Every structure is written in structure tokens, then in C-alpha cells.
């Protein structure tokens, strides 16, 4: 089989590898499509602290089960499935309280173990989620990015009284906007980004008001508009954002962060406690695939709006370069296998 392998930072090779055999409790997928995420590019460029090389990248993938290991019902062969990249031990403290996404022995497919940019992949059967026929292949490939939004929203409980502010209109911001609009029905969605084309996408994906905060003070702008956000999602993840969000939030607001920057940011207790703010963090997803499949099946979200490009997997280098260098016009890139 052909696999997209990052042999070491900056060295991407399409390798011939033996087709893997599913072990007990596993299924094997014939991968049909996969999505490129920023973290794939970070592994390619050597900027992902968790990656070990060589690595087959890809954690957003869709395909058909073509073989099963011992103990897995053979009736699953032929089913259309997406893979949940979160592989967890099942018995540590986080796993015991329903948070396998922060398992003490976490293995993320495509990061800690070989991923879905490959013609075949094996994974635990419980990580393979069956896709109803009503969801087309391309949309199914987009389920994983929406699970990130599902995870943060499940923690923050958005509701109809909420005035939401989303920082960043990349894939993570746009999936969050779609969920806030289509699933949770918040009162108003404001989006801040530094790229006008991305803000236009935010509007198409459900934002009511968009603000380019390149040259303006967002806190002052919102104050002038009389807006005090009650729910803030940081999907831009710059360290300067959390202190700003604490300052401009309404009393009793919730703030959700998703970033992995190791740079410090300065916050103070008074800013949080005086307004009794709640700060959530969210990593990957904890069993949110069924939730997103249901959202997609009932047309509450519209994944096609994010897909701007599609390539054959043999053009993966070109696809990654466009993804990296063209944020004005490129959002989600799919690879066909
Ligand atoms: P992206 O780079 O495509 O989008 C980020 C957007 O934020 C860009 O449009 C950029 O112009 C905008 N931005 C940057 N600084 C800003 C600022 N100060 N104010 C407003 N907008 C600003 O990235 P993507 O794929 O949407 O991911 C966003 C972040 O989420 C990344 O940092 C990524 O590491 C993180 N992430 C976290 C996950 C988790 O499970 N916690 C999962 C996936 C991504």
C-alpha cells in the first residue's frame, strides 16, 4: 500500500508499506478520503512536540472496513466508517470519568501512532463509527474537525441567551460558529479575525457580526457597540487572547480555550473572580463522534461550506503548501485515496 510518511521534519515521502493486519479487537479500513489539519503540517515542519518520526500523518479519515481482527463481528466488513483518532487505555482516572481525550496513556492516531494518510489503516473497532448513507463521503471526512467544536461546546453549554464571541475564523472557529448557530441557537455570534476573507467565511457559516481586529482595540470596539460577550471561544489561540477575553467578558461568562502555545500570558485573579468567570480548556474530543454524526444527519451543520480544495493523495505536498500559505482562500483540504 501507499502511505504518506513524514520520515523526519521537512521530509515527506510516499512510501510502499505492507498492508497492516488487524489485531484482536481491531478493524482495517480502506481509506477513501482524509482531511488536512494544521497539526499535520506542524508534524511535517517539525513543530509538533508530541510527534515521533517516521510517522504516517492524518487523523481525519473516512473509508470502508475491509477486514476485522479476532473478536470483531465480520458483518462490519463493507461498512462506511470514520475513525476517532483518540486511542485511550480505558482505566486511568480521566478514562474513568469519561475523558479519554486526556488519557494518561493517550495515543492520537496520526500523531503518536500511524495515521490515515494511507491506503489502509488499522484501529480499535470502537474507534470506527458507522456513517449513515445519508451523509456523503466528503462530509463524513469532516466529522473529526466538528468533534473539536462539539467537545468545547459540550463543556460550555451554549444557550439562547448567549452572546458568543469567537476568536479566529479558521477551521476551528468556523466549526464552532456552525455549532453555536445550528445546534445551540445562541442569540448572537460575533467573530474576530485578522483576515477579511476568513471573516467573509465566518458570515457564510453563521456569524452575525464580524470584526477585523488587526488594527483596532477589540475591547473598545465591543464596548462602543454595547456588546458584552457571555460565551467566548478562543479558536485563534494566541497567548494575548485570554487576557483580553477576561477583560471584555460579561460577568458570569464562560471562556473556552483550545491552544497549545507554551508562551506565557499574564492574567490576574481579580479579573476572573470579580466577574466569577469560568474558563474551560478542550483537547480533541471525548466520545463526540455519535453527537456530530447526529448533527450532520439532521442537517444542523453544513460541512461542505468549509471544504475549499480537494486533491489526489499523490499531490499531498502541493495540498499542504496551499493549506499553509493561502489562508485567505484555503480552509479545508481533502485528499482522495
Ligand atoms: P488557523 O490558523 O487556520 O486559524 C486561526 C485563525 O485565527 C486565522 O484565521 C487567523 O487569522 C486568526 N487569528 C490569529 N490571531 C488572531 C487574533 N489575535 N485575533 C483574532 N484572530 C486571530 O487554525 P485552525 O485550524 O482553525 O486552528 C485554530 C487553533 O486551534 C490552532 O492554534 C490549533 O492548534 C488549535 N487546535 C486545537 C485543538 C484542540 O483540540 N484543542 C484541535 C485543533 C486545533
Alpha-carbon gap, residue 145 to 205, rounded angstroms: 15
Our mutation pick for probing the ligand 1 site, out of 35, 38, 51, counting the most ligand atoms within 8 A of Cβ, is 38
Mean local confidence (pLDDT), 277-293:
98
Torsion over CA: 228, 234, 237, 242 (sign): positive
- pLDDT digits 0-9 by tens, 161-198: 999 999 999 999 999 999 999 999 999 999 999 999 99
Is the distance from the beta carbon of residue 194 to the nearest atom of ligand 1 less than 6 Å? Answer: yes
**Helices vs. strands in the chain: H and E counts, helices first:** 11, 18
> How many C-beta neighbours within 10 Å does residue 177 have?
29
- pLDDT value at residue 210: 98
pTM higher than 0.90 for the full model?
A: yes
Residue 114 has pLDDT above 90, yes or no: yes
DSSP at 293? H
Do residues 57 and 6 make contact, with C-beta atoms less than 8 angstroms apart? yes
Please give the number of the atom of ligand 1 that sits closest to the Cα of 37: 25
Residue 127 binned pLDDT confidence (cut-offs 50, 70, 90): very high
pLDDT of residue 49 exceeding 90, the answer is no
Q: What are 144-167's pLDDT values in tens digits?
A: 999 999 999 999 999 999 999 999
Nearest-5° angle of CA 87, CA 92, CA 94?
A: 75
Phi first, then psi: give them for residue 320, nearest 5 degrees: -70, -35
**What distance in angstroms lies between residue 80's CA and the mean position of ligand 1's atoms?**
30
Which value does ipTM take for this structure? 0.99
Q: Is the pLDDT of residue 50 over 90?
A: no
**Ligand 1 site-directed mutation target among 60, 109, 235, 248, most atoms within 8 Å of CB:** 235
Amino acid at each position: 500500500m501507499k502511505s504518506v510518511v513524514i520520515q523526519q521534519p521537512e521530509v515527506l515521502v510516499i512510501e510502499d508499506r505492507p498492508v497492516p493486519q488487524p489485531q484482536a479487537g481491531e478493524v482495517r479500513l480502506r481509506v477513501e478520503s482524509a482531511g488536512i489539519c494544521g497539526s499535520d503540517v506542524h508534524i511535517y515542519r517539525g513543530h509538533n512536540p508530541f510527534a515521533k518520526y517516521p510517522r504516517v500523518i492524518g487523523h481525519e479519515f473516512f473509508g470502508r472496513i475491509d477486514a476485522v481482527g479476532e473478536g470483531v463481528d465480520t458483518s462490519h466488513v463493507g461498512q462506511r466508517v470514520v475513525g476517532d483518532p483518540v486511542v485511550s487505555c480505558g482505566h486511568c482516572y480521566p478514562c474513568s470519568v469519561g475523558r479519554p481525550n486526556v488519557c494518561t496513556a493517550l495515543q492520537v492516531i496520526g500523531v503518536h501512532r500511524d495515521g490515515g494518510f494511507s491506503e489502509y489503516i488499522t484501529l480499535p473497532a470502537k474507534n470506527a463509527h458507522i456513517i449513515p448513507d445519508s451523509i456523503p463521503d466528503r462530509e463524513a471526512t469532516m466529522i473529526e474537525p466538528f468533534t473539536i467544536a462539539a467537545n468545547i461546546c459540550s463543556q460550555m453549554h451554549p444557550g439562547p441567551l448567549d452572546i458568543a464571541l469567537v476568536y479566529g475564523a479558521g477551521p476551528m472557529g468556523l466549526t464552532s460558529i456552525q455549532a453555536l448557530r445550528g445546534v445551540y441557537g445562541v442569540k448572537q455570534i460575533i467573530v474576530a479575525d485578522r483576515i477579511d476573507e476568513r471573516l467573509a467565511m465566518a458570515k457564510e457559516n453563521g456569524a452575525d457580526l464580524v470584526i477585523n481586529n488587526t488594527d483596532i482595540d477589540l475591547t473598545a470596539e465591543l464596548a462602543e457597540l454595547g456588546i458584552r460577550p457571555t460565551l467566548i471561544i478562543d479558536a485563534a489561540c494566541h497567548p494575548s487572547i485570554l487576557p483580553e477575553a477576561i477583560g471584555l467578558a460579561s460577568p458570569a461568562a464562560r471562556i473556552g480555550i483550545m491552544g497549545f502555545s507554551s508562551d506565557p500570558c499574564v492574567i490576574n485573579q481579580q479579573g476572573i473572580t470579580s466577574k466569577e468567570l469560568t474558563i474551560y480548556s478542550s483537547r480533541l474530543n471525548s466520545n463526540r463522534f455519535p453527537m456530530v454524526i447526529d448533527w450532520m444527519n439532521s442537517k444542523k451543520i453544513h460541512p461542505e461550506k468549509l471544504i475549499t480544495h480537494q486533491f489526489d493523495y499523490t499531490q499531498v505536498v502541493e495540498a499542504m503548501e496551499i493549506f499553509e500559505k493561502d489562508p485567505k482562500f484555503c480552509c479545508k483540504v481533502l485528499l482522495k485515496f
